[in-house]
Structure 1
Amino acid sequence: MDGFQIVVLALVQGLTEFLPMSSSAHLILTPKILGYSDQGLAFDVAVHLGSLVAVITYFRCEVFVMIRDFLKSLGSRGVQTKNSRMAWKIILATVPIVILGKLMYSMIQSDYRTISVIAISTIAFGVLLLWADIKGVRNRDEYSVTWKDALFIGLFQALAIFPGTSRSGVTMTAGMVIGLTREAASRFSFLLSIPTILMSGALVTFELVLDPLPVAWADLLVGALFSFAAAYICIHVFLRLIERISMLPFVVYRLLLGGVLIWFAMQQV
């Protein structure tokens, strides 16, 4: 991969990872538009890890307090606070995607990384996002999430193993369905991304280390750095604007993107 391709793909991933649109769709469509070959799963994971560092950095205060209170809750007294409960609920919400991802990991890497699958997922879950945004009551914050709510959001997140679904989009959809505000659904989604991206990144990184074929680690590092910068800015701007602009612009974009992907798929037939 040349430098321009690395930077463009990293910026695309960083800007789309935490928006309710599929970063997977963009990482497949962008090389096709620019005439590049697929960058491969290793690079996809690298730029996702850059986004992971961005979300941890942005929510560093919340993450620190949740980890602190979580560890305290494990002590003999087992004192629970709203932050320790939030940590436990994020763990619970992560379980479904871990189970489904483990069962379908090999299939995801091959059978489902197709333009047709991504196009259908992009459109279908875009429509679902619009429905949740219109019908949702949106009067709760993220700390009001119950155990049942956390599991519900986690089950929705498990659907994100299918490329084109958008992990952020589907978890925000679930959050608004249970009555969270757009910002609260987004914040819970961003915090929930931390263990999810961390585990998937660790799994593929372990495979890369054991793989005898050479890995362009420098390219992966550059991609991760640019993804980090783009993701951090994206999170900041998105949280400031989402209550005012609604999800409609992202839904319209998803429908247009899905249409473009269908066109690309038809060209390959």
Structure 2
Amino acid sequence: MSWLQVIVLSVVQGLTEFLPISSSGHLAIVSRLFFGADAGASFTAVSQLGTEAAVLVYFAKDIIRIVRAWFAGLADKARRDVDYRMGWFVIIGTIPICVLGLLFKDQIRSGARNLWLVAAALIVFALVIALAERVGRQTRHAENLTWKDAVTVGFAQCLALVPGVSRSGATISAGLFLNVDRELAARFGFLLAIPAVFASGLFSLPDAFSPVTEGMSATGAQLLVSVLITFVVGYAAISWFLKFLVSHSMYWFVGYRIILGVTVMILLGTGVLAAS
């Protein structure tokens, strides 16, 4: 990879990771459109370490409070409060994507990155997000969450294994379908992503240096710079997005996803872009 590729793709990753528009889909599109080749799923996974580090810093107080409450609740039943249950919900909700991510790791790195699939996922899941916004009553809050909600949102997170779906789009939509308020759904989705993304990034680190299937190799210095860029840009994106969700719906992103998906299909159909 060239340094220009690393910088551009890292900025794209940081900007899109937390918005419901699919960072992996954007990286696949931008890689092929401007650089003529896919950077690969491994580079994507490693660059996400920076955005998840941004989640750790942004939610540091919440994470520390949840971890303390979880350990306290293990020792004392009387201290099993909302934060204690949230700790278990994150653990339970992480299991599905860890299992499916390992089972389908080869498909994720190859066939799933076909741009026809990415474009279709952008459009189809835009309709899912729109439906979730329409039917979600947003009447449930943190104290109303159950383990069934955690499992449901956990399986929804698995949809993000398909580039073009969006992790935040999937988890927030699942939360809305469960009538959870939008901001809580976003926060829970971000917390849920931390274990899975860090595991994926560390697991993919060797392949990012020397891809065994598809993708481009990167040096240690390039990966380090990528993580730093995605951290800074990602932190700003989290802050903006959570404030945006307080007074705005996700309909704003539905139109963007459809326009982008249709545009990619046109570029593929006219031969401007190669599907894989």
TM-score (norm 2): 0.90
Once the two structures are overlaid, the 10-residue window that deviates more, 149-158 or 168-177, is: 149-158
Classify 1:142/1:7 alpha carbon distance in 2 versus 1 (closer, same or farther; 3 Å).
farther
Q: By how many angstroms is 1:45 displaced?
A: 1.9
Residue 261 of structure 2 corresponds to: 258
* SS of corresponding position for 1:219: helix
Classify 1:115/1:68 alpha carbon distance in 2 versus 1 (closer, same or farther; 3 Å).
same
| Matching residue's letter, 1:205 | L
Q: By how many angstroms is 1:206 displaced?
A: 5.2
Once the two structures are overlaid, the 10-residue window that deviates more, 36-45 or 248-257, is: 36-45
| Matching residue's letter, 2:60 | R
Asked if the contact 1:55–1:232 (Cα under 8 Å) also holds between the matched residues in 2, the reply is: yes
User: Partners in 2 of 1:209 and 1:77 — Cα distance?
Assistant: 47
Deviations 1:129-186 (A, max 9, x none): 0110011101222342111111111111112211111111000000011111211111
Residue 64 of structure 2 corresponds to: 64
Classify 1:263/1:142 alpha carbon distance in 2 versus 1 (closer, same or farther; 3 Å).
farther
| Matching residue's letter, 2:176 | M
Q: Percent identity?
A: 36
Asked if the contact 1:136–1:179 (Cα under 8 Å) also holds between the matched residues in 2, the reply is: yes
Residue 247 of structure 2 corresponds to: 244
User: Partners in 1 of 2:112 and 2:78 — Cα distance?
Assistant: 43
Classify 1:182/1:227 alpha carbon distance in 2 versus 1 (closer, same or farther; 3 Å).
same
| Matching residue's letter, 1:130 | A
| Matching residue's letter, 1:194 | I
Q: By how many angstroms is 1:40 displaced?
A: 2.6
User: Partners in 2 of 1:9 and 1:209 — Cα distance?
Assistant: 16
Q: By how many angstroms is 1:238 displaced?
A: 0.9
Q: By how many angstroms is 1:107 displaced?
A: 1.5
Q: CA RMSD in A?
A: 2.2
User: Partners in 2 of 1:18 and 1:73 — Cα distance?
Assistant: 31
TM-score (norm 1): 0.92
* SS of corresponding position for 2:112: coil
The aligned runs of 1:57-96 (5 Å cut-off) are: 57-75=57-75, 79-96=79-96
* SS of corresponding position for 1:139: coil
**Structure 2: stretches of 5+ with no match in the other structure:** none
| Matching residue's letter, 1:218 | A
Q: By how many angstroms is 1:6 displaced?
A: 1.6
Residue 14 of structure 1 corresponds to: 14
Deviations 1:200-249 (A, max 9, x none): 11211255689899850100111111111111111111111113221111
- Is residue 2:184 matched to residue 1:216? no
Asked if the contact 2:210–2:217 (Cα under 8 Å) also holds between the matched residues in 1, the reply is: no
Residue number among 215, 231, 234 corresponding to 1:231 in the alignment: 234
Residue 124 of structure 1 corresponds to: 124
Q: By how many angstroms is 1:73 displaced?
A: 3.0
The aligned runs of 1:94-105 (5 Å cut-off) are: 94-105=94-105
Asked if the contact 2:40–2:109 (Cα under 8 Å) also holds between the matched residues in 1, the reply is: no
| Matching residue's letter, 1:123 | I
Asked if the contact 2:14–2:51 (Cα under 8 Å) also holds between the matched residues in 1, the reply is: yes
Classify 1:31/1:215 alpha carbon distance in 2 versus 1 (closer, same or farther; 3 Å).
closer
* SS of corresponding position for 1:163: coil
User: Partners in 1 of 2:209 and 2:75 — Cα distance?
Assistant: 36
Classify 1:3/1:131 alpha carbon distance in 2 versus 1 (closer, same or farther; 3 Å).
same
User: Partners in 2 of 1:155 and 1:138 — Cα distance?
Assistant: 20
User: Partners in 2 of 1:244 and 1:79 — Cα distance?
Assistant: 34
Residue 161 of structure 2 corresponds to: 161
| Matching residue's letter, 1:256 | I
Residue 141 of structure 1 corresponds to: 141
